[in-house]
A and B are shown apart, each in its own frame.
Chain A
Amino acid sequence: MNELAQMNAVVEVGSAGEEWAFWICGTLAVIGALGLVLSRKTVHSALFVALTMINLAVLYITLGAPFLGFVQIIVYTGAVMMLFLFVLMLIGVDSSDSLIETLKGQRLAAILMVLALGVIAVAVIAIALDGTTTIGINEANAEHGGNVEGLASLMFTKYLLAMEIVAAVLITAAMGALVLAHRERWSPKRGQRELAEERADDFNRAGIHPGSLPSPGVLATSNAVGTPAILPDGSASELSIPVPLRGKKHPDIPAEPEQIAADFEEVAELSESETVREPEKLADVTGHLELDEVYPDSHNDEAGTGEFELPPAPDDEGRS
């Protein structure tokens, strides 16, 4: 090993740089901890925890324990907090904490318990450290030739049993979660082929449309996902709205198919008074084409109002 392995810390312990790092990262870590408690959105809380963890990791690194610092980021910030975020995002994107106290005296009890926990923690650490002589990180590392080597030899000699017990506990917890979340499959899994055959059967038996549902509408007034598509006969298709949005009210989403159909007709009537819908003008535009060729059904426009019936459109399920 060259001098690199002997080098234990990026920043010299006790130097001015370390002090600066302490004040900056310490402040940020405290801000993160306060943010965790004070922010209303759970995702923001999770982010503040990540901030605290990263700052603690930087402090570990400046204190001459780079391995601990990196493992802190990889394991806690990268894996544990990420799983937290996963759960938060999956169960509720916008859930924020309610401030109503459901248990009487909960806050007071919580404050007392935290104080008690603090006292216990300080007391236990003080007792454990009492009488221990400190030799400094450099000497502790030098004993085994480096920070990582020192940790490794401690983990696999002095604390071997403790490490094994921790590993067993973790594996038990993981197995427990697997068992609790496991669901027995009662029927064989249906693959792409089975699903396709099922759809074809449905079509044969009940005439249910085998293809995908119509996509939401893109109209002049709205293109939100809850906007129903307009069918060729001018009616709105309920099937084009995603199931959770059907029948729901939202300022941006005119979810009433009848309303959309009415709007559409209104627009159509407005545009009729202008150029495009007038049969004569249409004939001018199309030049040599006979009107009947453009609109084969226009002969039923007997009143000459420019309105004519379209052939009956297939209904929502694709049956004509």
Chain B
Amino acid sequence: MFGTDPFWLVLVKTVVVFIGLVVIVMLTIWFERRVVGRMQNRIGPNRAGPQGLLQTLVDGIKLALKEEIIPITAHKAVYWLAPFLSAFAAFAAFAVIPFGPTVSMFGIETQLQLADFPQSVLYLLAVASIGIYGIVLSGWASGSTYPLLGGLRSSAQMISYELAMSLSFVAVFMYAGSMSTSEIVIAQEQLWFCVLLLPSFVIYVTAMVGETNRAPFDLPEAESELVGGFHTEYSSMKFAMFFLGEYINMITVSSIATTLFLGGYLAPWPFSLIPGINEGWWTILFWFVKVVLFVFMYVWLRGTLPRYRYDQFMAFGWKVLIPFALAWVVLTAAVRAFAIEYFEDVNMLLLGVGVMLVGVFIYLVYLQIRDARRAREPEPELPSGPMNLENEGFPVPPLPGQTFEYTPRASTTVSGGTEQEEVTDG
């Protein structure tokens, strides 16, 4: 099926994927700002266009028209190359993502996917490792300390988490019997791999957040430590390239998660009972909904979790994720070999073991958090009864008739006091 498309059709697909990606990035940035706004009890951009939809476009035009500042100490050629490498790798990765099954396009039967070959998941990893060059080189070529540190941090982080990520793929390869993205999707027609290979899914989702430098793993751009990280010295269009690359990467890893674990363009369970639902153009819709779910998860994480400390983050990657992934791969290989040699039902056993492992994993993390909390000194006990207004009402003197009460959650919360409420309402 692949490699048989006429040249013009490949060209059409390429252009559609390219433009589609840019548009999706625009929408993603808008979506993130709106959702994170809601999570922080504010509205988010709502001025440019309906519901603020065109905000990203306006920002993009502003960014492109800004003055370009190149540091004197920059290494010119490499400084130019880095943002292009970053954006190139981000776009290139999308070539092997399947959006749907075979459809008829301009009278030609073709797959809704730009390209596919027996090793396309490896291609994704290869392109991702080229993308790291963009970040490292931008850090080095800026000729400045913060970008250099940010670039080194970022690449160390991406290389470490790439290991866990690749290990999580191995179990998928074993069960799909292929490394081609379209075949992996087809292999999930009966059962999605996020159910059968739950630990792999958990590892991948954790690693993909680290891989894209997003909160809570956004250490390369830790503003309080590194200014802007690797792109501190970049401005105007070059900065826009990094920005674009980061968001495309986010969508790419979401699509990979969808393809490898959530059944790609296949319909979710209750709908999948309808015969023939996994055919035709509208399977793109299922793919899109799943990707949006992942993007929402990204935004949710960003709105919820504080940033990790760097050493804790690396220790988590090397001492928790990778050993866990290795053990899981060995177990999967054993079960798979057993299933092929003896009987198929052992797959269900794997499912059970997987669920148990994830449970144990979460419980261990919980224990660690609980112990860390207990190790701290006990909270000072709150006095009970009404407050001594003269001393403890500081810094706000009580209004006439206002009384204070301690609440268990925050000692500063004010309750009672009708006049106080009137003041805040008015």
Chain A interface residues toward B at CB < 8 A: 1-5, 7-8, 10, 41, 43-44, 47, 50, 54, 57, 66-67, 70-71, 73-74, 77-79, 82, 85-86, 89-90, 93, 146-148
Contact = CB atoms under 8 A, between A and B. Distances in A.
A215 B128 CA distance: 38
A74 B126 contact: yes
A243 to B, nearest CB: 14
B159 A66 contact: no
A77 B152 contact: no
B259 interface: no
B118 A148 contact: yes
B119 A66 contact: yes
A195 to B, nearest CB: 14
A54 B116 CA distance: 20
B132 A89 contact: no
Contact of B122 (A5, A50, A74, A85): A74
A5 B178 contact: yes
A89 B138 CA distance: 12
B1 interface: yes
B183 interface: yes
A43 B129 contact: no
A147 B152 CA distance: 36
A101 B130 CA distance: 36
Interface residues of B, number: 37
B16 interface: no
Contacts of A90: 152
B118 A146 contact: yes
A78 B132 contact: yes
Contacts of B128: 78
Nearest to B116: A4
Nearest to A88: B140
B212 interface: no
10 contacts: A5-B118, A5-B180, A7-B3, A43-B78, A44-B78, A57-B126, A70-B125, A70-B126, A86-B155, A93-B140
Q: Which one of A44, A50, A57, A74 has the highest number of Cβ atoms from chain B below 10 Å of its Cβ?
A: A74
B159 A79 contact: yes
A147 B289 CA distance: 35
B243 interface: no
Given A4-B183, A50-B133, A89-B148, A71 B116 contact: no
A86 B148 CA distance: 10
Given A70-B119, A73-B130, A90-B152, A4 B125 contact: no
A82 B117 contact: no
Given A4-B180, A5-B178, A82 B132 contact: yes
Interface string B130-163: 1011001101100100001001100110010010
B118 A82 contact: no
Contacts of B3: 7, 10
B155 A82 contact: yes
Contacts of B84: none
B123 interface: yes
Contacts of A71: 122
B17 to A, nearest CB: 17
B117 A7 contact: yes
A65 B240 CA distance: 36
B182 A4 contact: yes
A9 B13 CA distance: 21
B2 interface: yes
Given A7-B117, A66-B117, 6 more contacts: A4-B180, A57-B126, A70-B123, A73-B126, A77-B126, A82-B133
Q: Which one of A43, A67, A70, A79 has the highest number of Cβ atoms from chain B below 10 Å of its Cβ?
A: A70
Contacts of B170: none
Contacts of B116: 4
B97 to A, nearest CB: 16
Contacts of A74: 122, 125-126, 129
Contacts of B1: 2-4
A16 to B, nearest CB: 14
A7 B129 CA distance: 25
B325 interface: no
B180 A54 contact: no
Interface in B261-304: none
A246 to B, nearest CB: 16
A85 B179 CA distance: 30
B13 to A, nearest CB: 15
A294 B182 CA distance: 76
